[in-house]
Structure 1
Amino acid sequence: MKKNIVILGTQWGDEGKGKIVDYLSRNSAYVVRYHGGHNAGHTLVANHKKIILHLIPSGVLHSNVIGIISNGVVISISDLVKEIQMLEKNNFFVNKRLFISNSASLILPFHIAIDIAREKKLGANAIGTTGRGIGPAYEDKIARRSIRVGDLKNEKTLSIKLEKIVDYYNDQLISIYKCKPFDYKIILKDLLNAKNIIDDMIQDTTMILNNAIKNKKIIIFEGAQGSLLDIDHGTYPYVTSSNSTIGGVITGTGVGPKNLDYILGVTKCYSTRVGNGPFLTELHNDIDAYLSDKGNEFGSTTGRKRRTGWLDGVALRHSVQLNSLSALCITKLDVLDNLEEINICVAYQNIKTLKIHTSVSFNELENMKPIYKKYPGWMKKTLGVRKIENLPSAAKNYIKSIEEIAGIPVDIISTGPDRNDTIIIKNLFL
């Protein structure tokens, strides 16, 4: 029996991981967010309610599940409190079911200000961040000057550390970016007020998780963003500031690799990307408009329109290799229902040398163009289909082609936004 399952994205995020985590976590004891911040939005539909989570693990919508925000996450306390209150308004209560690592670093107002100021100064060369302060917060973590969740427990120490770091950022905001400075006393007051709400949730989550493993509890690790946004292995510099590939689970939780039993890669059956950066299969035609509309391809965090394109098989194979994926989950199959023809990129061609590549370094993408294989559409409704045998034959052939390209099986197919619009080909817990 598989005890611990990792669910992560294989593309540039927005693959539909939240729904899959929500669906599978009914069988688990713990669900863990291990990296990223509130720049990632997971949209769920439960009991006909649309719930968008940014920090809290998707599995907490099940009353039997304990949510963990572990040390690899950077946390905006104010946004976390708002999220807890939003869940309570929708009758989802996390009291005594949500724990926050005392080692997680905080995102503070000056991180957000510096993030926005930098992007504005870069102009046309901007990375395309969400402006949520994620990058600057991770910078402070690596530079060993960040304020961590555990610091909230000691007001005197917190005040000293906060005044020092506010001075550090105020110097930059005033002299370089011509922005207004921050008063550390106001930030301190807000932090202490928020701390009163989450005080009992602050724990040593590494100890909690390793005790859970010892007691043979089922744990699901929930990835944010996608593998191609990984700070080390993604399309640098147009990436996020954390490790969204499998290594982030280990460093972001304190759980060792031998305790990870199954790794599921969530893959949208076409591609999308938010922000700037290379995107070889990007579309600029009627298909782009169709995918955006039918797939509701607008960021749940920013509201920005996502760039759309055909599925990139070369990039998918790269993600399979990086993450040692056990299998794939294909999402948004129903979005393709009305297309007469569907393409998958199966190779890249160098436009200068004309050489064909089935794998390539992301540093070489500038001179590449996609080579497509065409597949017939099924022109039938798959929305809400819950058994593989009920899919149109062309849809089943399309799924089989993805398996052949990726080199691993497809174990789950999502056919709609509701948690039950799901085809389980293989039981992950057996």
Structure 2
Amino acid sequence: GPGVFINPRKLVEEISELKRQGIDVSPANYGIDARAHVTLDYHVRDDAFSFEVQKGKAGHESTGNGVKQTARDKVMRVGIRFGEWLQADCMFEIMHEKGLVSLLSGSTGTGESAEQTIRTLVHSYDSEREILKPFVVQDHDIYAKHGKDGRLSEGAQGALLDLDVGQYPGTTSSNPLLVPGYPDQRVGVIKLYTSSVGIAERPFVARMHPSLESSLVEAWGERGVTTGRDRKLGWLDLVALRYTIQAARVTHLVGSCGDRLDTLFSKNEKIGVVVGYNVDDKLYDQWDVSFHNRFVLRKAKPVIEWFEPWQQFHKDGILTDESQRFVDFVQDRIGMEFHAIGVGPGDQDELVLREFRD
């Protein structure tokens, strides 16, 4: 859709890799909206510098992939959209007209005129244009044709990373909560604990003790997909979850990673659920308007309900007594039932608790 940022060089690599694995990627099953903004080399260069500067810090604000810089240009109305990028002359005119040559320092070498510097960058994408040109679409055309016949549309991940709804300024630069198509159901998928790879400006009230966290990162494979950095881990946060359900207009709830909590049995560690926040000796069990002040949640301390660990989350597809108590507690507190819970990485590793079409 138009909210996506496209890095042509990376996308071509990904498509080639999928095809190498025997996966069909063609205009019949994949499209790129003409209005999606393009991440260019100078966006990546600038973000990579920020990423390097942040190394070694407690948290980070960037993945080094140019997302923030692409979003900046989009909002400043000096960005280039995919439909424009596909036409080399159009891309050149935009960059020339908007005076974007100043952004190209170090991208294409030295000793060139401003005009030639732009042309060098523009034509460095010629091979990617040839590959990606057949994929251009308008997403509203797709949904007008297919969007009301039982299709599944997936948005991005991370409600609290949403630029408008999330924990600003510790958010991404786009809107993961935008759901494409004509949804009659909104399925929210949550882990039964919390994880986050970038918490530089995002308070992590539910974070577990660092010693336990560090012992679980490897066992649970909790590393950022983009950055490769260890994620920070915390307990399931019902204050944030209720807010997310309401803000995202979730109608159906799915849990995941129930099986991972089995690990805590062997460590003789109880399982926590954050049921409230203590801010300056005042207790909150709902997301308060004051939490949109970035300094308030930095002072919040978690109020935690503890559960005995279980040896198995389920047995033969049925929740064990201990995990059932955990699930019942969560459902009662948030006022919504799980329709399914994931219990492993496989396609069939799912406990379906109730039908989605109810």
TM-score normalised by length of structure 1: 0.73
Secondary structure, counterpart of 2:2 in structure 1: coil
Secondary structure, counterpart of 2:124 in structure 1: helix
Secondary structure, counterpart of 1:222 in structure 2: coil
Structure 1 contact 288–308 (Cα < 8 Å) conserved: yes
Q: How many residues align?
A: 336
Q: 1 CA distance for matches of 2:197 and 2:184?
A: 31
CA distance 1:381–1:228, shift in 2 (3 Å): closer
Deviation at 1:152, TM superposition (A): 3.3
Q: 1 CA distance for matches of 2:185 and 2:324?
A: 24
Match of 1:410 among 320, 338, 352: 338
Structure 1 contact 344–373 (Cα < 8 Å) conserved: yes
CA distance 1:193–1:165, shift in 2 (3 Å): farther
Question: In the alignment, is residue 338 of structure 1 matched against residue 267 of structure 2?
Answer: no
Q: 1 CA distance for matches of 2:241 and 2:66?
A: 29
Deviation at 1:266, TM superposition (A): 0.9
- Which stretches in structure 1 are left out of the alignment for 5+ residues? 1-69, 174-181
Structure 2 contact 37–70 (Cα < 8 Å) conserved: yes
What per-residue deviation string (whole Å, max 9, x for no partner) do you get for residues 216-259 of structure 1?
422322222301111112111111001122xx22xxx5x4xxx3
Q: 1 CA distance for matches of 2:105 and 2:226?
A: 30
**Percentage identity across aligned positions?**
27
Match of 2:22 in 1: 91
- Where in structure 2 are the equivalents of 1:207-356 lying within 5 Å? 207-213=141-147, 216-245=148-177, 248-249=178-179, 253=180, 255=181, 259-275=182-198, 276=200, 277-340=202-265, 341-350=270-279, 352=280, 354-356=281-283
Deviation at 1:290, TM superposition (A): 3.4
Structure showing greater radius of gyration is 2
Question: In the alignment, is residue 400 of structure 1 matched against residue 328 of structure 2?
Answer: yes
Q: 1 CA distance for matches of 2:22 and 2:357?
A: 29
Structure 1 contact 299–306 (Cα < 8 Å) conserved: yes
Deviation at 1:126, TM superposition (A): 7.5
Match of 1:358 in 2: 285
Counterpart residue identity of residue 194, structure 1 = E
Q: 2 CA distance for matches of 1:82 and 1:365?
A: 41
CA distance 1:165–1:303, shift in 2 (3 Å): farther
TM-score normalised by length of structure 2: 0.87
Structure 1 contact 120–126 (Cα < 8 Å) conserved: no
Counterpart residue identity of residue 130, structure 1 = T
Q: 2 CA distance for matches of 1:293 and 1:222?
A: 28
CA distance 1:121–1:166, shift in 2 (3 Å): farther
Structure 1 contact 119–126 (Cα < 8 Å) conserved: no
Match of 2:113 in 1: none
What per-residue deviation string (whole Å, max 9, x for no partner) do you get for residues 171-219 of structure 1?
799xxxxxxxx94334322322111112111112211212223xx4223
Q: 2 CA distance for matches of 1:269 and 1:194?
A: 41
Secondary structure, counterpart of 2:274 in structure 1: strand
Q: 1 CA distance for matches of 2:35 and 2:216?
A: 41
Structure 1 contact 234–362 (Cα < 8 Å) conserved: no
Deviation at 1:116, TM superposition (A): 3.0
Q: 1 CA distance for matches of 2:130 and 2:258?
A: 44
Structure 1 contact 264–328 (Cα < 8 Å) conserved: yes
Deviation at 1:295, TM superposition (A): 1.3
- Where in structure 2 are the equivalents of 1:114-153 lying within 5 Å? 114-118=46-50, 127-153=60-86
